[in-house]
Amino acid sequence: MRRVFLIAIGFLFAVSVSGQAVPTGFDLSNYGVRIEPDKRLIVVLSALEMATVKNANGVDERLVNTPLSEAGLKFRERVLADNASLPEDLRRRISTFIAQYKKRNPKATDAEIAAPFVSMAYTLTPVPELSDPIITSDLPGSLLDVLDFAPLVREFYRKSSISLKLDEYVKDYQADSDASLRVSAREMVSELLNYLHTRPRLTITERTVVETTKAGSKNTLRKTETREVDRRFYIVPEKLVAKGDINFLNIRDDYYVVVQPDTDLSFSDARRAFLRFVLDPLVVANSNEVAAMRSWAKPLLDETRKTNPSISGDVFLAITRSLVAAADVRQSEFAQLRIATEQSREMIDKQKTKEGKEKVSSDLKKFTEALSDEATLRLHEDYEKGAVLSFYFAEQLKGIEDSGFDIAGSLREMIAAFDPVKETARLTTTAEARKRATAARALRKSNPETKAVTVENPVTTRLLEIQKTIESKDLVKANADLKKLLVEYPSEPRIYYNIGRVASLSLESIDNEDAQAQKLLEAKAAYSNVISTATPTTDRALLSLTYVALARIYEFQNQKDYALKLYERAIEIGPVAAGGFQSAMDAKARLIKPE
């Protein structure tokens, strides 16, 4: 799992409360993202659960005791109970296979033992066939080692109760993921795409050479055919994978990230998996421009592989991974710094003395420096794993953060600007920053109670507490708490925004038309107050989201002309990180489309 830098936990989580709420109606499918369980994977991992061995007391124990979440443990007991009458001969053969596999991998943890079986599931055809792949020559060795488990999986599917229970399992998986996973997926996709100012390429053109022979002729004709291929990013909720683990698979043009249904994707390696989905085709499109990077990176990778053979020597792969690492690190740093700066401005405005204002400015400067140091250390960690261009791309990404330029149109210039001489000196020029970040980490580890440099904000603290109430679905209490906070801070736009959000969420549980109309009126008034209380320092992303939310209400009430004006106001703000720009663009296109 990716470590998340929490130097300013107040800032970091304030993002989701104060400025990064995803616009209502944000549809993941528009960005190639699907959240759905995979029946093949459920069957394979359930079969794995059947493997047992008798301990010294003659009691059966699981051979693979993968550490699961609380929900996963409950599901494990359910699967075991549902399959208590599994034929003993089949259970014995499953157990023998797993015991032998564990014997060949004595140092592997149970989570590591299970991992290749996850990959193996995706080589099989869908249920009920679960057939082997036609071609196996290009499969990695770790996967080939477990592919012989497939016949046992097929027999398990036929002879166990799972074929009868599978639809019920999938329904429960989907319900669990809709309750939490879908929310964090929308936040992750929104924040990363807004940062990169782009949209994923959902189709690519594939060219293949086809040979044909005319009747009565020995001559072979070769021609190139093209076809459009869809690209998709699948988020697969799976309760039987190890708690905290992120399993990522890239199978041709489909990307799969397998996670526990309650995973918060905004703070996981799923971010990098999605970035791969977005950035891979962009790097491919610029593959002819990387000559200078290839000449510089190849000797460096070869030297690194002498001490770490697990690192790939593929320069093209190193470029892609470097860009992904840089985008991940820079987006996290950029988001935290933006919120910290916004909060600092608010606090400076409220300070009565010069000393107070200078104290806030000083704290912000310390925070900014610490944030930069930690980002530098994270980039170096990726560098040591083969992402040798991570520093370079991180520096280049700074140029598009506020400009609004789409990375799809900027990548060619980024690659062309590569300077081998400057890049060779990168480790030397970042040494001090990495040293400071290492010391700061050590301090936090040795003294967990040590507080990082932050700019305290009582409104943010209270909104974070109220957010927990919202997540627990207690909207009545959340609304009351927000109204109480508003009395103390009547000119705080973030409070009004959250009042509007709670009113909108309440509509889902209201059937009475008069009550619905009242909640819509309350939401409209709250969103309008965000705009009326805004100041020059108000977060532009918050304003952008507000215009979109307000426009949707007017659109729902069939006041399309006014809704269109509000969408245009959001568009005028521009593609700020975590804003509603793309949603506004999509809505405008829909409204102006001739019926």
pLDDT tens, 410-419? 999 999 999 9
336 falls in which pLDDT band (50, 70, 90)?
confident
pLDDT tens, 106-127? 999 999 999 999 999 999 999 9
Burial of 400 from C-beta contacts in 10 A (0-12 / 13-18 / 19+)? buried
Quote the pLDDT of residue 6: 29
pLDDT tens, 497-538? 999 988 888 887 777 788 888 888 888 889 988 888 887 767
Backbone angles phi, psi at 452, to 5 degrees: -75, 165
> What pTM was estimated for this model as a whole?
0.74
Count CB-CB contacts under 10 A for residue 545. 32
318-340: average pLDDT: 92
Backbone angles phi, psi at 84, to 5 degrees: -60, -25
Residue 325 pLDDT greater than 80, yes or no: yes
Residue 14 pLDDT greater than 70, yes or no: no
pLDDT tens, 156-171? 999 999 999 999 999 9
Count CB-CB contacts under 10 A for residue 344. 22
Residue 450 pLDDT greater than 70, yes or no: no
Instruction: Output the average pLDDT for the chain.
Output: 86
563-577: average pLDDT: 84
Place of tokens 């002729």: 217
In order of their start, the domains of the chain are: 32-211+221-277 (no CATH), 286-446 (no CATH), 458-592 (1.25.40.10)
Among residues 372, 300, 298, 289, the alpha carbon closest in space to that of 337 is found at 372
Quote the pLDDT of residue 2: 35
The mean-pLDDT minimum among 93-107, 129-143, 153-167, 345-359 falls in 129-143
For 83, residues 6+ apart whose C-beta sits below 8 A from its C-beta are: 46, 50, 160, 161, 162
Quote the pLDDT of residue 124: 94
Quote the pLDDT of residue 24: 47
pLDDT tens, 344-359? 887 888 788 888 888 8
Burial of 420 from C-beta contacts in 10 A (0-12 / 13-18 / 19+)? exposed
Residue 453 pLDDT greater than 50, yes or no: no
Among residues 546, 569, 566, the alpha carbon closest in space to that of 499 is found at 546
